[in-house]
Amino acid sequence: MLDIHAHCFMVGKCIEEIRDMIVVESGLNYETNEIVLEESKQENVYFSAGLHPTEVVKLSELEIEKTIKQIKNLCENSKCIGVGEIGLDYYWHKDKKEIDKQKHYFRKLLELAESIKKPVIIHSRDAELDCLEIMESYNIKAVMHSFMPKKDWKIALNKALDLGYYISIPAIIVKNKRLKKIARDTPLEKMFTETDSPFLDPEGNRNNRPYKVKYAIEEIAKIKGLDFEEVESQIDKNFNELLNLN
């Protein structure tokens, strides 16, 4: 099984409990990028080095520049799958100044990913179409993490798929009708599975863990009329494809 997007570092013991699966731990800022690098010393753990849009709003220009340099360096590590999470967040940020700052640094981070030929892992909460509109000018591979647009989901999904991006389906799909439609309309070859642990717990206990990605795989299998193993193995293939290991 693959959980392509988790933040185990937020919860004690989460990372040590990972067995028989691959997890990509996702950094949010300078400090957590260092933590996920450390976690990736564990065999089945990869990481992505990022700067969350909410952090972009909070930090000074100097702190942001320092983090962008760090991300560039971390991307040279063989366990680093790419730049993320990065993106735009209009759920927590509605102020124009804050949004403009997010967009400015989102472009810088996309430029970086393009220049070092690394994939990006995208946070696009309530900002899916704006994210995609910015991203389309870059020659990049992208994973749209926990992709569940509230507005115009079909338009946003088609645009992401037209651009060749991957759609990552979180385990909370078991409780979300919109995600079920998104999974139905996304080819398995363009799909990933994730938990966003410790957030988005499908069991509703605020206690999400990477092993719960099995719920996403089960649900996708049900929707597509396939076996669990067929979905699991295609998603593993997609991961190799993303990392250019095929």
Which residue, 14 or 223, has its beta carbon nearer to Zn ion? 14
Query: Minimum distance between the CB of residue 196 and Zn ion, rounded to whole angstroms?
Result: 5
85 is annotated as contributing to ligand binding? yes
For 104, residues 6+ apart whose C-beta sits below 8 A from its C-beta are none
Q: Which stretch binds Zn ion (CB under 5 A): 56-64, 186-194, 195-203, 224-232?
A: 195-203
Closest CA to 70 of 47, 102, 43: 47
Burial class (CB in 10 A: 0-12, 13-18, 19+), 28: buried
Strands 191-194 and 120-123 turn out to be unpaired
Q: Which residue is nearest to Zn ion (CB)?
A: 196
Six-digit token string for 224: 């597509």
Q: Which amino acid is at 21?
A: M
Helix (H), strand (E) at residue 144: strand 142-144
Q: Which stretch binds Zn ion (CB under 5 A): 70-78, 103-111, 174-182, 188-196?
A: 188-196
Which residue, 196 or 219, has its beta carbon nearer to Zn ion? 196
Query: Minimum distance between the CB of residue 40 and Zn ion, rounded to whole angstroms?
Result: 16
Q: Which stretch binds Zn ion (CB under 5 A): 105-113, 156-164, 177-185, 190-198?
A: 190-198
Which residue, 196 or 232, has its beta carbon nearer to Zn ion? 196
Which residue, 146 or 186, has its beta carbon nearer to Zn ion? 146
98 is annotated as contributing to ligand binding? no
- Return d(Cα 185, Cα 4) in angstroms, integer: 20
Query: Minimum distance between the CB of residue 222 and Zn ion, rounded to whole angstroms?
Result: 25
- Return d(Cα 56, Cα 99) in angstroms, integer: 10
Query: Minimum distance between the CB of residue 229 and Zn ion, rounded to whole angstroms?
Result: 27
Query: Minimum distance between the CB of residue 136 and Zn ion, rounded to whole angstroms?
Result: 23
Neighbours of 125 (CB within 10 A): 21
Query: Minimum distance between the CB of residue 239 and Zn ion, rounded to whole angstroms?
Result: 17
Q: Which stretch binds Zn ion (CB under 5 A): 87-95, 110-118, 165-173, 192-200?
A: 192-200
Which residue, 55 or 196, has its beta carbon nearer to Zn ion? 196
What are the CA-CA distances from residue 75 to residues 59, 67, 118 (Å)?
22, 12, 8
Which residue, 128 or 196, has its beta carbon nearer to Zn ion? 196
Q: What number of chain residues touch Zn ion (CB under 5 A)? A: 1
- The angle formed by the CA atoms of residues 180, 182 and 185, to the nearest 5 degrees, is 110
CB 146 within 8 A of CB 200: yes
Site residues, Zn ion (CB under 5 A): 196
**Binding residue positions:** 5, 7, 85, 123, 145, 196
